[in-house]
């Protein structure tokens, strides 16, 4: 499916910079926007994803239109202008009528995924409409491999057996393309009140993030009055956003270098923010701005300790629930019909789910009429695409093996340095870059990567006339108008 192609002659298309984006989740779509707005020379862009709809991936796709994002509007701009999403909402009459907040207050509110999704796709369409010198194709294909060619380009292996020659490849595969745990039902369809559920039935929700909480509250909204168990390995549910502005605060002084001292320091800063009436959330927002340098300076052993013992706590403080939702969750837990239990789901059985309870070494059966999987996933390094690249020396794992080792721009590191032209955008870089699974960080990374493509001469090669493509960039719009 070609989304956009002004009548550019085929011979000229061949000489254009060839770019592939693998994955059309938020990271892939964001990368496309950044390229369209930043790379001024003509290019051919292909976005691959086996899922036929441009769904927005994990963050935006939702069968429940009511699901709320856990970031404030002010933090979700995709244009490079911080107020862009707020401005978009302000111009959206239907939204303004539905939401009571005063216009300046829009930056502080939380909106449904569906609204953010509309905004992202509108900005993508607008960026595309501005470019008469670019072609974009959406291909419903899985990418199975990437190879380096002798002329420093890439051959992208497509699921149908064909290969595509590219100058630049962006991996935006997020949490992978595979179906998670086939024997556990994934959270896909809304459960209506009457569907297998009645007053005395029991639903188990796996996970402890925003999606799990959302699902619990939706079950109640849809009239479910039975028992709910939230099953999570560590048992930390998201904390609440403050109703205050939570603008980042953090002391400028040098931070301690080791984990225990860092933890003490962060606790003190949070306590101070509370004492100053700003809320600990403002300190956590400030900490996020220092997280990248802190993480890279931490010894490997302490990174592992953080991952094992502290990541779940950090996540529950950075991925926060809007205050109203959090209050509802607390009431729900206090009411007794919803409880949180700590354990790992091992296998779905006919009667429920087999659980390794925390602190025990045998599995027990948790009876359930419905098991809904709302766990956060991790990037899948065993995916044939990623595994093949690792084997071919096109990429290396980060030191904790959470994902690929990348620079801030997403450039993938290899045993020999950076190959140039190969990027991993978003969660694939989570082991190198803390918080790169969040919208603001993905936006910044996408623009940084696009700027590199725009300025580095990637893909510049002699054209048939002997001139390099970048030199002719200004001429293309007239030629192809
Ligand atoms: C429920 C939820 C709520 C969130 N809410 C927020 C929020 O409020 N604020 C915030 O900042 N962040 C939020 N996030 C986090 C952030 O937005 C996500 O990390 C984001 O989903 C990352 O998107 P992605 O495109 O990298 O990955 P994904 O969403 O996983 O998309 C990856 C895409 O790549 C495709 N793919 C994978 N492998 C291949 C292959 N080999 N070939 C072709 N295609 C492939 C997949 O089919 C998929 O469509 C949320 C995340 C989730 C899951």
DSSP 410-457: -BBPBTTB--SSEEE-SGGGTTTSTTTTSHHHHHHHHHHHHHHHHHH-
Q: Which of 23, 71, 424 to mutate to test the pocket of ligand 1 (most atoms within 8 A of CB)?
A: 23
Name the residue at shortest CA distance from atom 5 of ligand 1. Answer: 69
**DSSP H or E segment with residue 347:** strand 338-348
Name the residue at shortest CA distance from atom 47 of ligand 1. Answer: 177
User: Which of 242, 24, 247 has the alpha carbon at shortest distance from 141?
Assistant: 24
Name the residue at shortest CA distance from atom 9 of ligand 1. Answer: 71
Partners of 240 in beta bridges: 321
Count of alpha carbons within 13 angstroms of residue 195, beta-carbon side:
7
Residue 413, Cβ neighbours under 10 Å: how many? 19
The answer to whether the 2-177+379-473 and 190-239+321-373 domains have the same CATH topology is yes
Residue 419 pLDDT > 80? no
452 confidence band (pLDDT: 50, 70, 90): very high
Q: How far does the chain reach from its first CA to its final CA, in angstroms?
A: 22
**Ligand 1 atom closest to the CA of 57, numbered from 1:** 29
- pLDDT of 39: 96
190-239+321-373, which class in CATH? alpha beta
Beta-carbon contacts of residue 372 (< 8 Å; ≥ 6 apart): 185, 187, 191, 203, 204, 205, 206, 215
More reliable by pLDDT, 18 or 181: 18
DSSP 65-107: TTPBPSS-GGG--SSSSTTHHHHHHHH-HHHHHH--S-GGGGG
**Torsions phi, psi of 386, nearest 5?**
-70, -45
Kindly report, residue by residue over 115-173, the tens digit of the pLDDT: 898 999 999 999 999 999 999 999 999 999 999 999 889 999 999 999 999 999 999 99
Quote the mean pLDDT of the chain.
84
As a whole number of angstroms, the distance between CA 457 and CA 293 comes to 29
**Ligand 1 atom closest to the CA of 25, numbered from 1:** 25
Which of the four CATH numbers 3.40.50.970, 3.30.360.10, 3.40.50.300, 3.50.50.60 does domain 2-177+379-473 have? Answer: 3.50.50.60
230 confidence band (pLDDT: 50, 70, 90): very high
Beta-strand pair 202-206/370-373: parallel
User: Which of 179, 434, 208, 477 has the alpha carbon at shortest distance from 342?
Assistant: 208
All structural domains of the chain with their residue ranges:
2-177+379-473, 190-239+321-373, 259-318
As a whole number of angstroms, the distance between CA 464 and CA 450 comes to 26
User: Which of 367, 375, 372 has the alpha carbon at shortest distance from 349?
Assistant: 367
User: Which of 1, 109, 114, 130 has the alpha carbon at shortest distance from 53?
Assistant: 1
Beta-strand pair 227-232/202-206: parallel
Torsion of CA 266, 270, 275, 278, to 10 degrees: 140
Query: What's the gap between Cα 405 and its chain centre?
Result: 17
- pLDDT of 198: 45
- pLDDT of 52: 79
Q: Which of 32, 59, 424 to mutate to test the pocket of ligand 1 (most atoms within 8 A of CB)?
A: 59
Token readout for 52 is 């036929």
């Amino acid at each position: 499916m070609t989304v956009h192609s002004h009548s550019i002659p085929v011979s000229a298309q061949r000489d254009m910079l060839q770019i592939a984006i693998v994955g059309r989740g938020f990271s892939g779509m964001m990368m496309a926007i950044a390229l369209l707005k930043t790379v001024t020379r003509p290019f051919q862009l292909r976005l691959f994803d086996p899922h036929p709809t441009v769904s927005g991936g994990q963050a935006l796709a939702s069968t429940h239109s009511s699901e709320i994002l856990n970031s404030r509007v002010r933090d979700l701009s995709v244009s490079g202008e911080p107020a862009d999403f707020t401005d978009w909402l302000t111009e959206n009459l239907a939204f303004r009528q539905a939401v009571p907040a005063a216009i300046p207050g829009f930056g502080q509110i939380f909106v449904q995924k569906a609204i953010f999704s509309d905004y992202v796709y509108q900005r993508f369409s607008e960026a595309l409409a501005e470019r008469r010198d670019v072609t974009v194709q959406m291909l419903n294909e899985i990418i199975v491999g990437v190879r380096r060619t002798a002329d420093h380009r890439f051959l992208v292996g497509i699921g149908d057996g064909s290969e595509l020659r590219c100058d630049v490849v962006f991996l935006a595969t997020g949490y992978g393309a595979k179906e998670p745990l086939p024997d556990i039902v994934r959270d896909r369809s809304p459960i209506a009140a009457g569907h297998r559920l009645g007053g005395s039935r029991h639903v188990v929700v796996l996970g402890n993030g925003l999606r799990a909480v959302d699902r619990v509250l939706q079950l109640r909204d849809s009239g479910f009055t039975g028992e709910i168990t939230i099953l999570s390995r560590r048992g930390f549910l998201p904390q609440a956003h403050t109703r205050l502005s939570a603008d980042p605060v953090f002391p400028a002084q040098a931070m301690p270098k080791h984990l225990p001292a860092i933890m003490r320091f962060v606790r003190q800063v949070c306590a101070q923010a509370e004492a100053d009436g700003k809320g600990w959330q403002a300190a956590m927002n400030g900490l996020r701005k220092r997280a990248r340098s802190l993480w890279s300076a931490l010894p490997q052993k302490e990174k592992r300790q953080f991952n094992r013992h502290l990541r779940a706590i950090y996540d529950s403080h950075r991925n926060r629930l809007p205050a109203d939702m959090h209050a509802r969750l607390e009431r729900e837990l206090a009411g007794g019909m919803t409880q949180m239990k700590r354990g790992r789901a091992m296998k779905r059985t006919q009667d429920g789910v087999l659980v390794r309870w925390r602190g025990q070494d045998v599995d027990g059966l948790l009876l359930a009429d419905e098991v809904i999987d709302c766990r956060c996933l991790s990037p899948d390094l065993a995916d044939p695409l990623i595994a093949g690249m690792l084997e071919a020396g096109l990429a290396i794992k980060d030191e904790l093996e959470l994902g690929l080792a990348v620079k801030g721009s997403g450039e993938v590191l290899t045993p020999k340095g950076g190959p140039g032209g190969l990027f991993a955008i978003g969660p694939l870089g989570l082991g190198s870059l803390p918080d790169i699974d969040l919208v603001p960080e993905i936006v910044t990374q996408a623009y940084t990567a696009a700027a590199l493509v725009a300025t580095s001469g990637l893909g510049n090669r002699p054209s048939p006339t002997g001139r390099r493509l970048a030199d002719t960039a200004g001429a293309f719009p007239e030629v192809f108008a």
